[in-house]
Every structure is written in C-alpha cells, then in structure tokens.
Amino acid sequence: MDLFRKKLAVLDLTHGGIPIAKKLAALGNDVSGVDVYGTVDQALLGELEEKYGIRCSKAPLPVSEFDLLIAPVHLDPAYPMLTEARSEGKTVLSHHEVVGKILQADPRLSEIKIVEITGVKAKTSTASLLADMLSRRFEVVLHTSRGLEAWKEGTSFLIHKGLSITPGSILTAVEKNLEAGIRPEFFIFEISIGGTGTADLGILTTLSPDYGIANNTSLASDAKLKLILNARPGSTLLLNAGAEKALEAAKGSLAKVLTFKDPFYAEPNLKLSEAPDFVLETEAGTDKSSASGELSVSKEHSSSKEPSVSNELSVPNESSTAPEASGPTLHFLYRGEELFSASLRPGYNSSAYRTAFVAASAAALELGVGREAVVSVLEEFGGLSGRMQEKELNGVALVDNSNSGMDILSAEKALEYALLKKKDEKKGSIILILGEEASQVCEGLPPGSVQGFVEKFGTKCRHIILVGERMKAVTAENASYAGSLSEGLLKASELAGAEDIILSSVKCFR
C-alpha cells in the first residue's frame, strides 16, 4: 500500500507520532494527528496544524474519515478508534511498518546499509560496540538512546541529542544526519519493540525478561518478532539462540539466519535444538566481573578513545577507576572453531556486557570487519557510562548503573555486584540511588516493583535515595527522596564516607 494522497490518522503523538505525521504530510497525504494520551502541549499541536497542515485532536476521530490508521504496537486495542477500525475492517498499520515504508521509498538511503537492533536488554551496548567496530573500516552513523553520533576510525562526534528510540525517531535521525551533510556507509538504529523491515542486518539481543504491552493485552516479545517476520528477502538476521520464539519465527524466512549463544539470558534448562553459530567463552581474570564464576559472554560499549558524546554524570569530581587487576580473556568461536581471543580491561563489570560482546562481534565480522579491529575494540573497551561502570564521585567509589534500559532485574544485579565489591575491597556501607527520571522512558520503573525491591534488599544498604515523583509512593525506613538523578548523586555524596560505595540505578536518558 502506497502512502501518497491518502487520508491518514496518526495515533499517539507522544511516542514518535509527530515525526511520522510530519513526514506523511510532506509526502502529500492529508494527515490528522491524535494525541491519545493528552500529553502534547497545545502550542505544539497548533504549530503542527499551522506549519504542516496536520489537523490535531485530543479526542478520538471518526474512523470513517480515513483510508487507514497508524498506531504504535503498544497502544491499548480498546482505544475507541482501534475498536471502530476493527468493526469496519479498516486497515491499521504500526508505527514500525509505516516508518519502514517511508525509509524504503527514500532514494537518499539507497546506497546506505541499515542495521536495526531490538530486544529487551543490551540494545544500546550492542549498537555502540558495533558502531566502533564498523568504524574501523567504514563511516557509520549511530542512533541510540545515548544520542545521534557519527563514527569514523574509532572516534565519534555528536550530531544531535535528545531523540527517543521509537520508530518515528528514526525519521528525525535520518533528517538530522543529512542536514549535517554526512553520508555514511552504515546507519545503526537502536529501536524499541520491533523492526521496520528495512534492515540489511537485524539483530535481536534478548526477548527476556518479557513484559506486557497494549494494556497487557499482548507481549512485547511478540511485537519484537516483527524484526524477523518483516525481514527483507536476502537480508541477514542475527538472533539470540536462547530466544525460542524468535527461532521459531525465523523458520521459513527468506533472510539469512545466524545465531549467538547468550547463557545469561537463556532459560536455565533450555536445550538448544541446534548449535549456535557464534559463542563466546572466557578465562576468568582477577577483576569483579569474573568473581561470580559465570561465563562472560557479552558487554556494552565504550572505548579508551573517549567519544565526544558525553554520557558522564553531571556532578563534580567524578572519574573512572581502573584497579590493578587483569580482566577475563574472551574466546570467540564460530561453529566450534576459535576465531580470536581478546583480553578485557578491568575496572567495570564485564559480565553485564556479555550479550553485546557476542552480538556486536558476530555482526561486525558478518559485515566485513577484520578480526584485528574487533579484538582492538573489545580490548580497549572500559564500559559504557551508566551501564555497570566503576567511577569515583568526590573520592567515593561509584557503581554507575543509570540508563534508559535499567529495570528491577538490572538493579538487583547491580546491588549484587556492589555487595561483592564491598566484601572483596573491605568497603564500608552502600548508598543506593534508585528510581526514574521520567516514567515514559521505556515503560518506566513501576513503583510496585521498587517497593518489592526495598522490602527484599533495603537492609543491605545504609541508605536509599528514591528518585522521581512516582517513587514517593514507596516507603522504607532508611529512604529519602530526590527529584532527579543529579540531585540524588549530590545527596549520596553528602551521606557517603570515604570507604562507602554509591550505587546509582536510575532509569533515565543519558
């Protein structure tokens, strides 16, 4: 179905609907935008109408007025316009599908290869590591929750910051990049809850832990499978071998299917029907990443060549720490045969990056990057800011685990790591910063989950600083509140002694 001279309704202007509506209007369609949640400022709605000719409404519109509807996969199917569309047999396309159609029809992208990365965990880290690896041979533009970056020869600079990873934001990322006059050989897009169907290489990091979407009427994992089901013939899919639903969906696909082993996220008793194509194994080093005795199979991205994109916390006197210890050695295998090994740096929790290590390495090799470049990136890597990276804050040890993908499971693993650090280094007590800066960041951090966390683990911390308006509903004897991550860090710095550990686990954009 073409998207030209149609009457279209774009539902949900909060989560990426605005750039979709703008682009469809520019392509010659009669577009109406529906502010489903009533959260868009009236002045912005007025601007969309006056400047772009997009009629905007905070109330549902009659479906009979439109040729088709465009709605995000997470919208409640009971929303009146969706209910009416089903009863009338009206076509409803997802935001992902429409963005895919727009990208496929854009001649400016015809010579640029596209990589899309979706999943529950390790999207940002896999994308960032892959960008560094690809940049050793190609020019790359990377769009993640960290920002829109241009990468070349292992270094990067910021093009734009502040975009989300909704499918609609891909359209903004493309425009910002072309406005900057950059024509990369690769676009890498981190994308939430699915794929657009335009990728030359689609990567699925994890499907677990799964969660409900669309008012709990469907699962996020089913939406993410669209990366597979809509894959172009002749494209390549790189899938987590522990995601059984993904492997089942890939049967009969006209795309080339490759798999990687990720024991961290696979079901404990899962027996793989076929041997994975790519596997990482480790020899333990003496840093904290190997203390649990688990396989360290993948990690999130950063480089000793500091990119110009700053993801550091906005607080004074913070620095990275690098204990005098050796990190683990990775052994990368392809169908049972070792291709290379890499010695990791200490100073960060490398076990938190296992998915990204294997997925990014496999993707880079598949896309034509030499082994030496892949090894170089792995060995230079020191952890992504906000993803289990060790730092110092005013002379106090800081474990930084604040990022857009942070959830309760991640908070538990971060606390486990901090407790191990406390024991091994004979530290004092733990000051925990926990919560969210914005409830719309990747589904938010449910206050009920936080309440359960503090009831179960709160006594392991001397003090807990809860961040965000919704966290005021959480109660604990040793808790106080802060309005933002930066305020929480300042409070923690005031409370902590020189031998204490500050653990930062806040869901936020960095």
Decide: 408 and 445 in contact? Cβ < 8 Å: yes
Provide the whole-model pTM: 0.80
Looking at residue 394, the DSSP 8-state letter turns out to be T
* Residues 54 and 118 placed together within one structural domain of the fold: no
CA-wise closest residue to 432 among 507, 498, 505: 505
Q: What is the pLDDT of residue 270?
A: 57
Q: Residue 133: give its domain's CATH number.
A: 3.40.1190.10
Q: What is the pLDDT of residue 304?
A: 32
Decide: 255 and 231 in contact? Cβ < 8 Å: yes
Query: Which domain range does residue 66 map to?
Result: 7-94
Residue where a domain stops, chosen among 72, 94, 116: 94
pLDDT < 70 stretches in the chain: 1, 263-273, 284-326, 438-444, 510
Residue where a domain stops, chosen among 357, 380, 403: 380
* Residues 86 and 114 placed together within one structural domain of the fold: no
Residue 386 lies in a domain: no
* Residues 224 and 359 placed together within one structural domain of the fold: yes
* Residues 248 and 329 placed together within one structural domain of the fold: yes
* Residues 74 and 38 placed together within one structural domain of the fold: yes
DSSP H helices, 444-509, are 447-457, 485-495
Residue 2 lies in a domain: no
Burial label, 466 (beta-carbon count in 10 A; 0-12, 13-18, 19+): buried
Q: What is the pLDDT of residue 313?
A: 35
Q: What is the pLDDT of residue 441?
A: 47
Decide: 313 and 489 in contact? Cβ < 8 Å: yes
* Residues 323 and 229 placed together within one structural domain of the fold: yes
Residue where a domain stops, chosen among 352, 380, 408: 380
Distances (CA, A) of 227 to 98, 231, 238, 257, 418: 14, 6, 10, 12, 36
* Residues 272 and 153 placed together within one structural domain of the fold: yes
Q: How far, in Å, CA of 240 to CA of 214, rounded? A: 25
* Residues 347 and 401 placed together within one structural domain of the fold: no
| Number of domains the chain is built from | 3
| Amino acid in position 330 | L
* Residues 312 and 409 placed together within one structural domain of the fold: no
Q: What is the pLDDT of residue 292?
A: 31
What number of H helices and E strands is found in the chain?
14, 25
